């Protein structure tokens, strides 16, 4: 482990999309490369943190020097995240699917001429909200993300209150920004002490800046 301000501090990071099976061959997913979450895990590692990285099926190569836990669904991600606690800080960078199928289809849904299937959804657990609202063993600092396409700061501020996390990293993922799947990010850090607009920069630089902020917040 690297020497640094987070030496010996345990930090949970969730990353990537989740996949929710429709049947054995189809799934619904969120559009997430896992690049930002991976960069955050690496930046925390470089400050000495003991990182537990819970990732859905993401394209981004897995970070080295961290504990990697691979999951597929939101429910698996929740179980892995809770099992990784206690941690001093938790960063929820995953793009979790909001819904899964209400019932599992053990066999492939057959295509039938002139007949369309109807999919019935059930709500997935909100991992960030659950961990933020833990009454026992809550990480000292809980950081969520808000990927928005409209009214970014207003929506993200409301999300911070609704979920109960300490900070929200808000970003504009409108297609025109090229952020989704790209190498840059433009974020606003929303804390209890106001909004910080960060300039557009590489996802690695966003990660390094966030990791440094986390180290400062946790103190020595
Ligand atoms: O509600 P929304 O999906 O916009 O919230 C985004 C934030 O909440 C992210 O930090 C994401 O990782 C987290 N989240 C979660 N579990 C969910 C949905 C979102 O942890 N089921």
ipTM score over 0.85, yes or no: yes
166 labelled ligand-binding: no
The pLDDT value given to residue 212? 97
The pLDDT of residue 183 is 86
Q: Which residue blocks in the chain are alpha helix, DSSP H?
A: 35-46, 74-84, 127-132, 152-163, 203-218
User: Whole-angstrom Cα distance, residue 187 to residue 180?
Assistant: 13
pLDDT at site 182: 82
| Residue 220 pLDDT | 74
Active site residues: 30
| Torsional sign, CA 164, 145, 122, 55 | negative
- C-alpha 23/C-alpha 63 separation (Å) is 30
Positions in the chain short of pLDDT 70: none
Contacts with 134 (C-beta within 8 Å, 6 or more apart), sequence order: none
Structure confidence by residue, pLDDT tens digits, 139-170: 999 999 999 989 999 999 999 999 999 999 99
Q: What is the pLDDT of residue 173?
A: 85
Residue of 144, 162, 166, 173 best suited for mutating to test ligand 1, as the one with most atoms within 8 Å of CB: 144
Backbone angles phi, psi at 77, to 5 degrees: -65, -40
Q: How far is the CA of 95 from the centre of ligand 1 (A)?
A: 6
Cis omega (within 30 of 0) for bond into 86: yes
Backbone dihedral angles phi then psi of residue 71, each to the nearest 5 degrees? -130, 170
Instruction: Please report how many Cα atoms fall inside a 13 Å half-sphere around the Cα of residue 111, on the Cβ side.
Output: 3
Rounded-to-integer distance, Cα 73 and Cα 166, Å? 25
- Tokens for 119? 């999919």
Pocket of ligand 1 (CB under 6 A): 14, 74, 92, 94, 96, 124-128, 144-146, 159
Joined together, the tokens standing for residue 75 give 């429910």
* Residue 174, CA distances (Å) to 30, 151, 177, 218 in order: 14, 11, 6, 33
Q: What is the pTM of this model?
A: 0.96
Ligand 1 centroid distance, CA of 84 (Å): 18
Give the model's pLDDT for residue 179. 80
Cβ burial of 116 (10 Å; 0-12, 13-18, 19+) is exposed
- Pocket probe for ligand 1: among 29, 128, 169, 171, the residue whose CB has the most ligand atoms within 8 Å is 128
Minimum CA distance residue for ligand 1 atom 2: 146
């Amino acid at each position: 482990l690297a020497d640094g301000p987070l030496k010996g501090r345990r930090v949970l990071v969730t990353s990537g999309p989740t996949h929710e099976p429709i049947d054995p061959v189809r799934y619904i997913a969120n559009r997430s490369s896992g690049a930002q979450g991976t960069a955050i895990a690496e930046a925390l590692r470089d400050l000495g943190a003991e990182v537990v990285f819970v990732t859905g099926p993401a394209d981004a190569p897995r970070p080295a020097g961290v504990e990697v836990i691979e999951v597929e669904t939101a429910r698996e991600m929740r179980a892995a995240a809770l099992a990784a606690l206690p941690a001093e800080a938790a960063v929820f960078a995953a793009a979790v699917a909001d819904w899964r199928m209400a019932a599992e289809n053990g066999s492939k849904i057959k295509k039938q001429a002139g007949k369309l299937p109807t999919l019935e959804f059930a709500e997935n657990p909100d991992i960030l909200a659950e961990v933020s609202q833990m009454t026992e063993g809550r990480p000292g600092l809980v950081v969520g993300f808000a990927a928005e396409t409209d009214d970014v700061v207003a929506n993200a501020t409301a999300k911070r209150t609704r979920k109960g996390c300490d900070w929200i990293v808000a970003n504009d993922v409108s297609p025109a920004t090229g952020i989704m799947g790209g190498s840059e990010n433009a974020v606003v850090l929303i804390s209890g002490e106001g909004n910080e607009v960060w300039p557009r920069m590489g996802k690695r630089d966003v990660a390094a800046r966030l990791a440094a902020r986390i180290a400062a917040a946790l103190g020595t």
